[in-house]
Amino acid sequence: MVACAGMPMAPSNLLSQILLMRTEQWLNPAELERRQWSRFQRVLRHAYDNSPFYARRFRDAGIIPGDIRDRADLSRIPIVTRRELRHPEELVPDSYDPARMKESFSSGSTGESVRTYFDSNAWRLGKHLLKLRARWACGVRPWDRAALIQAGDFSNSEFRRRILRQQSFSVHGPVKESLLELREFAPTVLYGFPTHFSELAEICNQDITPKCIFTSGEMLEDGTRRKIGNAFGAPVYDIYGSTELKEIAWECPRRDGYHINSDWVLVESVGEHDTIVVTSLYNYGMPLIRYELGDTGKLLDGLCRCGRSLPLMAPGVGRSVDYFQLPDGSRVSPYTLVNNVEVLPEIRQFQILQDTPDRVVVLVVPGPDYGDGSAERIRGAISDDLPGITIDTRCVDEIAREPSGKFRKVLSDLPRDESKT
Ligand SMILES: [Zn+2]
């Protein structure tokens, strides 16, 4: 990698980076915001000067970096969509060589895969240091034994097992086997998908006794959080992130919201559907400026009771592409639908799918109490929110996870109108 003028804006020394990160979470909010904005302007200038992709976009939008003077000007910068990352090399500045950079893949629920390149400084910061800060805040220490339950990356190297004390386990396959493997490893910290822990919670019988559990990748509803927390006897902390940006926001033990890593990520919630748009302030190797993740969420006012000045957000219930469309053209957030079905005790697992403009199908894995009136209760739980739409229910033995390991509680097969997000 060729060093680039103006970079890095973080100290390159590891210890200095750790100290800076530790300090910045406690800065007064105005100072933290000032630093964030300064980093934003620097990455904007870097992208404009060095990435042909951004130079062209800014020119087409009739702007130069100097035009973006404060947050009110952000909307003048065009949003980058996931579709535009099909050729990620186009975003990489000429002075960086993709072949020599770290990269992350995301398979994507609709089949399109996305590759993101990271310069070495960005990789260290995004992949390791931001996580370290957040986990430390929740009580994780280097001597903890961490089980990572995921879809890929089973590189259980010596370094990983002995030094990091981590081990990966597959989210695919029978949950009973998963429990046996975990019991043998005896983790003190668990990482994984909420739906997987929810399944484990039904059979774990206190076989595993972690001191805390971290979830990510799916929405964590209150009921699921309680179920997991009670079954394992440990607090559950959720993390909001993406392959392209790594961790964006996380819960501390106060759980007043999700702390945004605002020193290194700028998060916006835009439009009537609260679409999340993010900017990486540290990845100079592949600048992502105003990148639309395809999620929804809100920025929250006020600070967390823990005293950290990292601002708070509340991720939404799912991807903006999975909003349901009504025949009159309006859109329904999946949030209400999921919450209303979630509370029905006779359902073990479900997935709500809109397959045509006027039909929604609820796939159900029935629990022991599922009976004659259950289908009607499911329809009744969501029919008020879906006027003009036929609701069918269908019992199945199981609902498959996506190859990424995620479980989608809501899905829309309808073509998406990007202009509405
Ligand atoms: Zn906090």
pLDDT of residue 123: 95
pLDDT of residue 339: 80
Q: Is the pLDDT of residue 416 over 60?
A: no
pLDDT above 70 coverage of the chain, percent: 92
* 210: preceding bond cis by omega (within 30 degrees): no
Neighbours of ion ligand 1 (CB under 5 A): 252, 254, 304, 306, 308
The residue among 145, 199, 190 whose CA lies nearest residue 172 is 199
Query: How do residues 346-377 score in pLDDT, each as one tens digit?
Result: 998 899 999 888 999 999 999 899 999 999 99
The domain limits of the chain are: 2-125+242-320, 139-234, 323-419
Name the CATH topology of 323-419: GMP Synthetase; Chain A, domain 3 (3.30.300)
Of 134-148, 199-213, 398-412, the least confident: 398-412
CA 249 / ligand 1 centre spacing (Å): 11
- Do 2-125+242-320 and 323-419 have matching folds? no
Q: Is the pLDDT of residue 229 over 50?
A: yes
CA 111 / ligand 1 centre spacing (Å): 36
Burial label for 37, CB within 10 Å (0-12, 13-18, 19+), is: middle
CA 130 / ligand 1 centre spacing (Å): 15
Name the residue with higher pLDDT: 45 or 166.
45
CA 219 / ligand 1 centre spacing (Å): 20
Question: What would be the CATH architecture of the domain defined by 139-234?
Answer: 3-Layer(aba) Sandwich (3.40)
24: confidence class by pLDDT, cuts 50, 70, 90:
very high
Q: Is the pLDDT of residue 296 over 90?
A: no
Q: How many CB atoms lie within 10 A of CB 174?
A: 9
pLDDT of residue 134: 98
CA 20 / ligand 1 centre spacing (Å): 18
pLDDT above 90 coverage of the chain, percent: 65
Query: How do residues 184-203 score in pLDDT, each as one tens digit?
Result: 999 999 999 998 999 999 99
SS3 per residue for 185-207: HCCCEEEECHHHHHHHHHHCCCC
CA 250 / ligand 1 centre spacing (Å): 9
Tell me the CATH class for 2-125+242-320.
alpha beta
Q: What is the DSSP string of 162-182?
A: IIS-EEEEESSS-HHHHHHHH
**Residue 271 region by backbone torsions, left for phi larger than 0, else alpha for psi between -120 and 50, else beta:** left
Asked if residues 24 and 129 have their Cβ atoms less than 8 Å apart, the reply is no
CA 187 / ligand 1 centre spacing (Å): 25
User: In the Cβ-directed half-sphere of 45, how many Cα atoms lie within 13 Å?
Assistant: 14
